[in-house]
Structure 1
Amino acid sequence: MRRTRLALCTFVLALSIGLLAVPPSTAADTYPQKGRTLTIIVPYNAGGGADTDARIIAPLLEKKLGIPVQVVNKPGAGTQVGMTALTSAKPDGYTLLLGHFPGTVTTYLDPTRQTAYTRKDFVAVAFTCSEPFTFIVLKDSPYKSMKDVIDFAKANPEKFKVAVTGVLLPPHLSVLELEKQTGAKFAIVHFDGAAPGRTAFLGGHTDALVALVSEAAPALKGEMARVIGIMDTEGNPQLPGVKTLPEMGFNVTMVNSEGILAPAGTPAAVIQVLEAAIKEAVENETYLARMKQLGITVRFKGSRESEAWLTKLENQVRPLIEEARKKQP
């Protein structure tokens, strides 16, 4: 009996030592799990730029990760609906959000929005591409350069009308920054979307339009308008010969970047898997061809670099938001 107990204890001890010798599994070892679905939230209506890009990336991620990837549109409240859904989701790597920045940043930095989330509630997985905003006038406009526009707006405060999308979104913020740096004063006309603003501008209801290259493409291709300034540090291949605002002496840059976020608390190992998969997706010829067609530059940033980029965007727009709110009655 004593021998049996001794043999049993020896077996249990050996088994325990064997189990301890087996390295513990990590999140990366078990992610992604078969049978699970990855959801990409798009905080805008279907058919927009972010929605289109998400639907290009989704099948590429499916192929890499080996699980279904679905795109779900959750528009509303200037991305707040989608961001609330993201930050409320379980941080397991199966819920992401693809959005535009710094537009998404402005929601939680603006205290009047009273968002249910803050910067601490999400983490950047990757940034994939960027596209500059531009300053556009009609083809027959008497304003041939940014200097012409600034000189007129300084001499005639609030007489030069500029169409922008939204309130305290990137187009609006870029005009506020231009005012701050030059002393010019524009009549800013807000529209709920790029299309209504473009229509009003082409109809002669405003003197200028601030829009992305892709948003302005219909007017530019129809030769109804011309870009007189690019809000970036470098030119754009879709706009040969057009100078950047910094080149013209106006240190105003406003670039729309596309980023992918995950809920805070998502394991670092899972973030690494997703980052690698997204990097491979944006290097795919299908994705690259689509971006080139739209005049969008592919600029991949990994998670660590993306976190630093978000901080830079916050520092860029926070003072503009604070100053704009102070001016409100």
Structure 2
Amino acid sequence: MMMSATRRLALGLVAGATLFATAASAQTFPNRIVKMVVPYPAGGPTDVIARIVAEDMGKELGQNVIVENLAGASGAIGTRAVAKAEPDGYTIVFGNNQTHGNNMFLLKEPGYDAVKDFAPLAGAGAFEHVFVVSNDLPVKSMQELIALAKKDPSKLNYGSTGVGSGSHLATELFMVRTGTQMTHVPFRGAAPLVTELMASRIDVSNSTLPSVLAQFQAGQMRAIGIASPQRNAQAPDVPTLREQGITDADAESWAAFFAPVNTPKPILDKLSGTIIAILKKPDIKERITKLGFTLNVRDPEAFRPYLAKEIQTWAEIIKTANIKAE
């Protein structure tokens, strides 16, 4: 049946009104508080970086940007909340390889699709991993740790920031490569893990560098190896795994900002442009880099193929380490 001219006109007016409303909302965005969800407890490196960016975003956007910690379920609780939030730009998330990658393979019901439910705003960079041990553990190198782990398999325990986190999977990869076995103790974030490690209730952790940098610099634990191709400028005395004869065990945990997928493009562009500009500011770069985080800012177009490649890489690590979904 032919559509009447009147109906075509009406539909055209509706479409035009919708486009006008979207453009208008983008021009006035934001006119209230913006919420940045961190799906981990307060005090960890992800939280600290989010707060640095959120503070500057508030100045740039002319509205407060508050950080809300929604921890639990390996980061899935907070991430799911953002996936289901109104796609209007007022709720975004600072996610990572766990929330937007590994959970798809390791949680039977994460409650969201890491790719389909989100629009990337900006890739921030990556956390390098460093092996740290409690001061009570009698090891000062990776080879000494391997020897102790092999002497009494499963006696040593290692902490991670949750099932499916970079610290969990990177340690499992390390054990596969070195033929060692340790008992996994997952935590809900970096802050409680670090507390237990300093108290010597955890033996070892392959933690992100920012989460333990201040502690091992203060002598509250020992750093014995960094899982990256080169030494880190913030911890130049810590040798790499490769220097200590351990190959194919390097791993880094990326971090990025996301919005719900159906957020209007003008608003996505505004948020993305603001975040990218902030991450490139010299004073912000210095503050974040001092934490031990390696900045590598990517816009959405550059981040999408990187995300696809990273998901594939960590899926292979999960398969190699034979980790099952929970």
What range is the shorter-chain TM-score in? Answer: 0.7 to 0.9
Aligned counterparts of 1:70 and 1:33: Cα–Cα separation in 2: 16
Q: How far did 1:303 drift?
A: 0.8
Q: Which moved more, 1:210-219 or 1:294-303?
A: 210-219
Q: Which residue of 2 aligns with 1:3?
A: none
DSSP 3-state at the match of 1:281: helix
Aligned counterparts of 2:215 and 2:36: Cα–Cα separation in 1: 31
Output the TM-score relative to the length of structure 2: 0.80
Unpaired runs of at least 5, structure 2: 1-15
Equivalent of 2:268 in 260, 267, 271: 271
Equivalent of 1:313 in 310, 313, 317: 310
Do 1:42 and 1:82's aligned partners in 2 also have CA atoms closer than 8 Å?
Answer: yes
Q: Which has the larger radius of gyration?
A: 1
Aligned counterparts of 1:153 and 1:252: Cα–Cα separation in 2: 17
Residues 278, 78 of structure 1: alpha-carbon distance in 2 compared, 3 angstrom cutoff? same
Aligned counterparts of 2:189 and 2:37: Cα–Cα separation in 1: 20
The answer to whether 1:212 aligns with 2:205 is no
Trace 1:135-284 onto structure 2 (pairs within 5 A). Answer: 135-138=131-134, 141-154=137-150, 156-247=152-243, 248-284=245-281
Q: Which residue of 1 aligns with 2:292?
A: 295
Equivalent of 1:58 in 35, 38, 54: 54
Aligned-residue CA RMSD (Å): 3.2
After superposition, give the CA deviation of every residue in 1:202-247 in whole Å (9 maximum; x if it has no partner).
4444442222223223431332432121122332112113222244
Aligned counterparts of 1:141 and 1:257: Cα–Cα separation in 2: 29
After superposition, give the CA deviation of every residue in 1:43-76 in whole Å (9 maximum; x if it has no partner).
2333433333233222422333344433333333
DSSP 3-state at the match of 1:70: strand
Q: How far did 1:103 drift?
A: 4.8
Q: Which residue of 2 aligns with 1:16?
A: none
DSSP 3-state at the match of 1:239: coil
Q: Which moved more, 1:215-224 or 1:137-146?
A: 137-146
Q: Which residue of 1 aligns with 2:71?
A: 75
Q: Which moved more, 1:240-249 or 1:306-315?
A: 240-249
Q: Which residue of 2 aligns with 1:11?
A: none
Do 2:76 and 2:110's aligned partners in 1 also have CA atoms closer than 8 Å?
Answer: no
Do 1:178 and 1:250's aligned partners in 2 also have CA atoms closer than 8 Å?
Answer: no
After superposition, give the CA deviation of every residue in 1:154-190 in whole Å (9 maximum; x if it has no partner).
4543233323332222111111111222322223333
Equivalent of 1:49 in 36, 45, 49: 45
Residues 53, 32 of structure 1: alpha-carbon distance in 2 compared, 3 angstrom cutoff? farther
Q: How far did 1:124 drift?
A: 1.3
Question: What is the aligned-residue identity percentage?
Answer: 29
Q: How far did 1:78 drift?
A: 2.5
Residues 142, 311 of structure 1: alpha-carbon distance in 2 compared, 3 angstrom cutoff? same
Aligned counterparts of 2:325 and 2:22: Cα–Cα separation in 1: 52
Q: How far did 1:87 drift?
A: 1.2
Unpaired runs of at least 5, structure 1: 1-19
Do 2:173 and 2:321's aligned partners in 1 also have CA atoms closer than 8 Å?
Answer: no
Do 2:134 and 2:202's aligned partners in 1 also have CA atoms closer than 8 Å?
Answer: no
Residues 117, 154 of structure 1: alpha-carbon distance in 2 compared, 3 angstrom cutoff? same
Paired AA for residue 183 in structure 2: A
Q: How far did 1:324 drift?
A: 5.9
Aligned counterparts of 1:42 and 1:195: Cα–Cα separation in 2: 14
Paired AA for residue 307 in structure 2: L
Output the TM-score relative to the length of structure 1: 0.79
